[in-house]
Protein backbone atom coordinates (compact mmCIF):
# COMPACT_ATOMS: atom_id res chain seq x y z
CA UNK A 1 0.00 0.00 0.00
CA UNK A 2 1.25 3.45 -0.90
CA UNK A 3 1.10 6.39 1.48
CA UNK A 4 1.74 10.06 0.70
CA UNK A 5 3.88 12.57 2.58
CA UNK A 6 5.39 10.16 5.10
CA UNK A 7 7.92 11.31 7.69
CA UNK A 8 11.24 9.47 7.52
CA UNK A 9 12.61 10.80 10.81
CA UNK A 10 12.00 7.53 12.68
CA UNK A 11 13.29 5.50 9.71
CA UNK A 12 16.86 6.83 9.63
CA UNK A 13 19.33 6.35 12.47
CA UNK A 14 20.60 9.93 12.21
CA UNK A 15 17.08 10.92 13.25
CA UNK A 16 17.00 13.81 10.80
CA UNK A 17 13.68 15.24 9.66
CA UNK A 18 12.75 14.43 6.06
CA UNK A 19 9.58 13.52 4.21
CA UNK A 20 8.94 11.02 1.42
CA UNK A 21 6.50 12.10 -1.27
CA UNK A 22 5.41 8.45 -1.45
CA UNK A 23 6.20 5.51 0.84
CA UNK A 24 5.48 1.82 0.34
CA UNK A 25 6.41 -1.61 1.67
CA UNK A 26 6.56 -4.97 -0.09
CA UNK A 27 7.08 -8.47 1.32
CA UNK A 28 7.51 -10.45 -1.91
CA UNK A 29 8.72 -9.92 -5.47
CA UNK A 30 5.09 -10.03 -6.65
CA UNK A 31 4.13 -7.24 -4.23
CA UNK A 32 7.23 -5.35 -5.30
CA UNK A 33 6.30 -5.57 -8.98
CA UNK A 34 2.74 -4.44 -8.27
CA UNK A 35 3.87 -1.49 -6.17
CA UNK A 36 6.47 -0.29 -8.68
CA UNK A 37 3.93 -0.52 -11.51
CA UNK A 38 1.49 1.81 -9.76
CA UNK A 39 1.08 4.79 -12.13
CA UNK A 40 1.38 7.23 -9.22
CA UNK A 41 5.03 6.26 -8.66
CA UNK A 42 6.13 4.38 -11.77
CA UNK A 43 8.17 7.27 -13.19
CA UNK A 44 9.42 8.77 -9.92
CA UNK A 45 12.90 8.47 -8.37
CA UNK A 46 13.28 5.47 -6.06
CA UNK A 47 15.05 5.15 -2.72
CA UNK A 48 15.22 1.66 -1.23
CA UNK A 49 15.39 1.86 2.54
CA UNK A 50 16.66 -0.93 4.79
CA UNK A 51 17.39 -0.16 8.41
CA UNK A 52 18.12 3.49 7.61
CA UNK A 53 21.54 3.06 9.22
CA UNK A 54 23.63 3.73 6.12
CA UNK A 55 21.87 6.85 4.97
CA UNK A 56 22.07 10.62 5.29
CA UNK A 57 19.00 12.51 4.12
CA UNK A 58 19.90 16.13 3.41
CA UNK A 59 16.44 16.98 2.07
CA UNK A 60 12.93 15.62 1.49
CA UNK A 61 12.71 12.84 -1.08
CA UNK A 62 10.50 13.74 -4.04
CA UNK A 63 9.84 10.18 -5.11
CA UNK A 64 9.10 6.72 -3.75
CA UNK A 65 10.79 5.42 -0.60
CA UNK A 66 10.48 1.65 -0.55
CA UNK A 67 11.11 -0.91 2.18
CA UNK A 68 11.34 -4.64 1.41
CA UNK A 69 10.25 -6.48 4.54
CA UNK A 70 10.59 -10.24 3.85
CA UNK A 71 12.77 -11.69 6.63
CA UNK A 72 12.58 -15.45 6.10
CA UNK A 73 15.53 -17.78 6.77
CA UNK A 74 15.76 -21.25 5.26
CA UNK A 75 18.40 -23.82 4.38
CA UNK A 76 18.23 -24.59 0.66
CA UNK A 77 21.17 -27.04 0.46
CA UNK A 78 22.92 -29.04 3.16
CA UNK A 79 26.47 -30.28 2.70
CA UNK A 80 28.75 -32.19 5.03
CA UNK A 81 30.84 -29.15 5.95
CA UNK A 82 28.56 -26.22 5.14
CA UNK A 83 24.98 -25.29 4.42
CA UNK A 84 23.54 -22.88 1.87
CA UNK A 85 21.22 -20.50 3.69
CA UNK A 86 18.75 -18.15 2.00
CA UNK A 87 17.75 -15.01 3.90
CA UNK A 88 15.11 -12.43 3.02
CA UNK A 89 16.49 -8.96 2.43
CA UNK A 90 14.35 -7.47 5.20
CA UNK A 91 15.99 -9.55 7.95
CA UNK A 92 17.91 -7.56 10.57
CA UNK A 93 21.61 -8.30 10.02
CA UNK A 94 22.67 -8.59 13.67
CA UNK A 95 19.69 -10.84 14.42
CA UNK A 96 20.75 -13.09 11.54
CA UNK A 97 24.33 -13.31 12.83
CA UNK A 98 22.95 -14.30 16.22
CA UNK A 99 20.68 -16.89 14.55
CA UNK A 100 23.60 -18.35 12.60
CA UNK A 101 25.60 -18.98 15.77
CA UNK A 102 22.59 -20.39 17.61
CA UNK A 103 22.17 -22.92 14.78
CA UNK A 104 25.78 -24.07 14.80
CA UNK A 105 27.31 -22.06 11.97
CA UNK A 106 30.57 -20.12 12.23
CA UNK A 107 32.16 -17.27 10.30
CA UNK A 108 29.85 -14.29 10.76
CA UNK A 109 30.74 -13.62 14.41
CA UNK A 110 33.17 -10.79 13.54
CA UNK A 111 30.30 -9.00 11.80
CA UNK A 112 28.16 -8.80 14.94
CA UNK A 113 26.27 -5.62 15.79
CA UNK A 114 26.58 -4.07 12.33
CA UNK A 115 23.31 -2.17 11.93
CA UNK A 116 21.02 -2.57 8.96
CA UNK A 117 19.40 -5.37 7.01
CA UNK A 118 20.63 -8.48 5.22
CA UNK A 119 19.67 -6.91 1.90
CA UNK A 120 22.10 -4.06 2.44
CA UNK A 121 24.99 -6.38 3.36
CA UNK A 122 26.07 -7.38 -0.18
CA UNK A 123 25.44 -3.93 -1.62
CA UNK A 124 27.92 -2.39 0.79
CA UNK A 125 30.02 -5.56 1.17
CA UNK A 126 29.91 -4.91 4.90
CA UNK A 127 32.99 -5.78 6.91
CA UNK A 128 34.48 -5.50 10.36
CA UNK A 129 37.33 -6.92 12.43
CA UNK A 130 39.10 -8.54 9.50
CA UNK A 131 36.08 -10.15 7.81
CA UNK A 132 33.99 -9.07 4.81
CA UNK A 133 30.58 -10.58 4.08
CA UNK A 134 31.47 -11.43 0.47
CA UNK A 135 33.55 -14.32 1.83
CA UNK A 136 30.28 -16.14 2.59
CA UNK A 137 27.95 -14.90 -0.15
CA UNK A 138 27.02 -17.54 -2.70
CA UNK A 139 24.53 -15.47 -4.67
CA UNK A 140 22.33 -12.39 -4.51
CA UNK A 141 18.78 -12.46 -5.86
CA UNK A 142 17.45 -9.12 -7.05
CA UNK A 143 14.29 -7.73 -8.57
CA UNK A 144 15.36 -6.31 -11.93
CA UNK A 145 13.22 -3.23 -12.57
CA UNK A 146 14.04 -3.17 -16.29
CA UNK A 147 13.06 -6.81 -16.82
CA UNK A 148 10.24 -6.84 -14.27
CA UNK A 149 11.37 -10.10 -12.70
CA UNK A 150 13.92 -11.55 -10.30
CA UNK A 151 17.42 -12.56 -11.39
CA UNK A 152 20.21 -14.28 -9.50
CA UNK A 153 23.79 -12.99 -9.50
CA UNK A 154 26.37 -15.54 -8.42
CA UNK A 155 29.24 -14.39 -6.24
CA UNK A 156 31.73 -13.71 -9.03
CA UNK A 157 29.19 -11.57 -10.90
CA UNK A 158 28.64 -9.25 -7.93
CA UNK A 159 31.85 -7.24 -8.39
CA UNK A 160 32.77 -7.21 -4.73
CA UNK A 161 35.51 -4.91 -3.49
CA UNK A 162 36.19 -2.94 -0.32
CA UNK A 163 32.77 -1.52 0.71
CA UNK A 164 31.67 -1.99 -2.88
CA UNK A 165 29.65 -4.18 -5.21
CA UNK A 166 28.12 -3.89 -8.65
CA UNK A 167 24.85 -2.91 -6.95
CA UNK A 168 26.36 0.48 -6.04
CA UNK A 169 27.28 1.38 -9.62
CA UNK A 170 25.43 4.15 -11.42
CA UNK A 171 22.56 2.53 -13.30
CA UNK A 172 22.71 -0.67 -11.28
CA UNK A 173 21.81 1.03 -8.00
CA UNK A 174 18.37 2.08 -9.23
CA UNK A 175 17.77 -0.99 -11.38
CA UNK A 176 18.31 -3.82 -8.89
CA UNK A 177 16.48 -4.31 -5.58
CA UNK A 178 17.91 -7.07 -3.39
CA UNK A 179 15.22 -9.54 -2.29
CA UNK A 180 17.23 -12.56 -1.09
CA UNK A 181 20.83 -13.27 -0.14
CA UNK A 182 22.28 -16.78 -0.21
CA UNK A 183 25.21 -17.45 2.10
CA UNK A 184 27.30 -20.60 2.38
CA UNK A 185 27.99 -20.96 6.07
CA UNK A 186 30.50 -23.49 7.44
CA UNK A 187 29.76 -25.78 10.36
CA UNK A 188 33.37 -25.46 11.50
CA UNK A 189 36.11 -22.98 10.73
CA UNK A 190 39.13 -21.12 11.96
CA UNK A 191 38.25 -18.12 14.07
CA UNK A 192 39.50 -14.71 12.89
CA UNK A 193 41.24 -13.29 15.97
CA UNK A 194 44.12 -11.22 14.62
CA UNK A 195 42.33 -7.91 14.08
CA UNK A 196 43.52 -5.42 16.72
CA UNK A 197 41.49 -5.56 19.89
CA UNK A 198 39.86 -8.98 19.63
CA UNK A 199 42.46 -11.07 21.47
CA UNK A 200 42.80 -8.33 24.09
CA UNK A 201 39.03 -8.27 24.66
CA UNK A 202 38.92 -12.06 24.95
CA UNK A 203 41.75 -11.92 27.48
CA UNK A 204 39.83 -9.32 29.48
CA UNK A 205 36.86 -11.68 29.42
CA UNK A 206 39.12 -14.43 30.80
CA UNK A 207 38.70 -16.64 27.73
CA UNK A 208 41.82 -18.50 26.59
CA UNK A 209 40.20 -20.94 24.14
CA UNK A 210 37.36 -18.99 22.49
CA UNK A 211 34.54 -20.35 20.38
CA UNK A 212 32.55 -18.41 17.78
CA UNK A 213 30.02 -17.18 20.35
CA UNK A 214 32.86 -15.83 22.49
CA UNK A 215 34.17 -13.86 19.53
CA UNK A 216 30.64 -12.57 18.88
CA UNK A 217 30.40 -11.38 22.48
CA UNK A 218 33.86 -9.78 22.32
CA UNK A 219 33.03 -7.89 19.11
CA UNK A 220 29.74 -6.69 20.62
CA UNK A 221 31.55 -5.45 23.72
CA UNK A 222 34.17 -3.59 21.64
CA UNK A 223 31.58 -1.98 19.36
CA UNK A 224 29.35 -0.91 22.25
CA UNK A 225 32.31 0.65 24.02
CA UNK A 226 33.76 2.41 20.98
CA UNK A 227 30.71 3.44 18.96
CA UNK A 228 27.81 5.62 20.09
CA UNK A 229 24.39 3.97 20.24
CA UNK A 230 21.96 5.43 17.62
CA UNK A 231 19.15 4.95 20.16
CA UNK A 232 20.95 7.46 22.41
CA UNK A 233 22.46 9.87 19.88
CA UNK A 234 21.67 9.93 16.17
CA UNK A 235 24.40 8.49 13.94
CA UNK A 236 25.01 6.12 11.04
CA UNK A 237 28.09 4.38 12.37
CA UNK A 238 31.31 4.85 10.44
CA UNK A 239 30.76 7.77 8.09
CA UNK A 240 33.96 7.58 6.03
CA UNK A 241 35.64 4.65 4.30
CA UNK A 242 39.20 3.83 5.26
CA UNK A 243 41.13 5.18 2.25
CA UNK A 244 43.06 2.70 0.14
CA UNK A 245 46.17 4.24 -1.39
CA UNK A 246 49.30 3.24 -3.29
CA UNK A 247 52.01 1.77 -1.07
CA UNK A 248 54.26 4.75 -1.84
CA UNK A 249 51.70 7.16 -0.39
CA UNK A 250 51.43 5.06 2.76
CA UNK A 251 55.22 4.97 3.06
CA UNK A 252 55.39 8.76 2.75
CA UNK A 253 52.78 9.07 5.49
CA UNK A 254 54.72 6.71 7.75
CA UNK A 255 57.92 8.66 7.18
CA UNK A 256 56.27 11.72 8.71
CA UNK A 257 54.04 9.86 11.18
CA UNK A 258 55.66 6.54 12.19
CA UNK A 259 52.69 5.60 14.36
CA UNK A 260 50.09 5.88 11.61
CA UNK A 261 48.13 2.62 11.30
CA UNK A 262 48.27 1.03 7.85
CA UNK A 263 47.08 -2.35 6.60
CA UNK A 264 47.82 -4.46 3.55
CA UNK A 265 45.17 -4.01 0.85
CA UNK A 266 46.77 -6.21 -1.82
CA UNK A 267 48.16 -5.35 -5.25
CA UNK A 268 50.70 -2.84 -3.94
CA UNK A 269 48.08 -0.92 -1.96
CA UNK A 270 47.70 -0.02 1.71
CA UNK A 271 44.59 0.79 3.72
CA UNK A 272 44.81 3.82 6.01
CA UNK A 273 42.73 4.53 9.09
CA UNK A 274 40.22 7.30 8.39
CA UNK A 275 39.61 7.63 12.13
CA UNK A 276 43.34 8.25 12.74
CA UNK A 277 43.48 10.89 10.00
CA UNK A 278 40.46 12.71 11.41
CA UNK A 279 41.77 12.47 14.97
CA UNK A 280 45.15 13.88 13.90
CA UNK A 281 43.32 16.90 12.51
CA UNK A 282 41.87 17.58 15.95
CA UNK A 283 38.31 16.96 14.79
CA UNK A 284 37.26 14.31 17.28
CA UNK A 285 34.46 15.93 19.24
CA UNK A 286 34.13 18.80 16.71
CA UNK A 287 30.70 20.42 16.79
CA UNK A 288 28.82 22.82 14.54
CA UNK A 289 25.50 23.48 16.23
CA UNK A 290 23.80 20.12 16.78
CA UNK A 291 25.88 18.41 14.09
CA UNK A 292 29.32 17.11 14.89
CA UNK A 293 31.98 14.43 15.10
CA UNK A 294 31.59 11.97 17.96
CA UNK A 295 33.87 12.50 20.96
CA UNK A 296 33.71 8.71 21.34
CA UNK A 297 34.97 7.80 17.85
CA UNK A 298 36.38 10.15 15.20
CA UNK A 299 34.85 8.17 12.33
CA UNK A 300 31.27 8.77 13.47
CA UNK A 301 29.19 11.86 12.74
CA UNK A 302 26.45 12.54 15.30
CA UNK A 303 23.22 14.45 15.61
CA UNK A 304 23.16 16.02 19.07
CA UNK A 305 19.46 16.73 18.80
CA UNK A 306 18.04 18.97 16.12
CA UNK A 307 20.63 18.86 13.34
CA UNK A 308 19.32 18.68 9.80
CA UNK A 309 20.79 16.40 7.20
CA UNK A 310 22.26 19.46 5.51
CA UNK A 311 23.96 20.41 8.80
CA UNK A 312 25.53 16.97 9.07
CA UNK A 313 26.65 17.05 5.44
CA UNK A 314 28.31 20.42 6.07
CA UNK A 315 30.29 18.84 8.93
CA UNK A 316 31.22 15.90 6.69
CA UNK A 317 32.52 18.28 4.03
CA UNK A 318 34.51 20.17 6.67
CA UNK A 319 36.13 16.91 7.77
CA UNK A 320 36.95 16.02 4.17
CA UNK A 321 38.48 19.44 3.46
CA UNK A 322 40.56 19.43 6.65
CA UNK A 323 41.99 15.95 6.01
CA UNK A 324 42.63 16.84 2.37
CA UNK A 325 44.50 20.00 3.34
CA UNK A 326 46.70 18.30 5.94
CA UNK A 327 47.35 14.91 4.37
CA UNK A 328 46.39 15.30 0.66
CA UNK A 329 44.10 12.29 1.11
CA UNK A 330 40.46 12.26 0.03
CA UNK A 331 37.93 10.68 2.39
CA UNK A 332 34.85 9.12 0.80
CA UNK A 333 31.51 8.81 2.60
CA UNK A 334 30.38 5.30 3.44
CA UNK A 335 26.61 5.99 3.75
CA UNK A 336 24.32 6.89 0.88
CA UNK A 337 23.94 10.66 0.84
CA UNK A 338 20.65 11.92 -0.58
Q: Which residues are catalytic?
A: 163, 238, 334
If phi over 0 gives left and psi between -120 and 50 gives alpha, with beta otherwise, what is residue 107? left
The burial class, CB within 10 Å (0-12 / 13-18 / 19+), for 100 is buried
The burial class, CB within 10 Å (0-12 / 13-18 / 19+), for 187 is middle
Angle between helices 212-226 and 93-102 (to 10 degrees): 150
Please report which helix (H) or strand (E) contains residue 203, including its range.
Answer: helix 198-204
The span from the CA of 298 to the CA of 279, in Å, is 6
One-character DSSP codes across 240-285: BPPPEEEHHHHHHHHHH-TT--EEE-STTEEEE-HHHHHHHTT-TT
The span from the CA of 291 to the CA of 255, in Å, is 34
Residue 304 and residue 295 in contact, taking contact as beta carbons nearer than 8 Å = no
Would you call 204 helix, strand, or coil by DSSP? helix
The span from the CA of 11 to the CA of 9, in Å, is 5
Residue count (the chain) = 338
The span from the CA of 119 to the CA of 68, in Å, is 9
As a whole number of Å, the CA-based R_g of the chain is 20
User: Which residues, in sequence order, are bridge partners of residue 186?
Assistant: 82
Amino acid sequence: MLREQVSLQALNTFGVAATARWYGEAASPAELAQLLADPRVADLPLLVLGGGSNLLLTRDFDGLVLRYTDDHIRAIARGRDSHLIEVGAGMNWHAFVDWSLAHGYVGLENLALIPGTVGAAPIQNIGAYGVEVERFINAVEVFDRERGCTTIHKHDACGFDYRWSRFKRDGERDRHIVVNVRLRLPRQGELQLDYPGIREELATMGIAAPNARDVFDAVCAIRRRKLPDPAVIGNAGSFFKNPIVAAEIAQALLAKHPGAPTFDAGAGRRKLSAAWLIDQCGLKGYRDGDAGVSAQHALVLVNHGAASGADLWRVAQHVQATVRERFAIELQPEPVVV
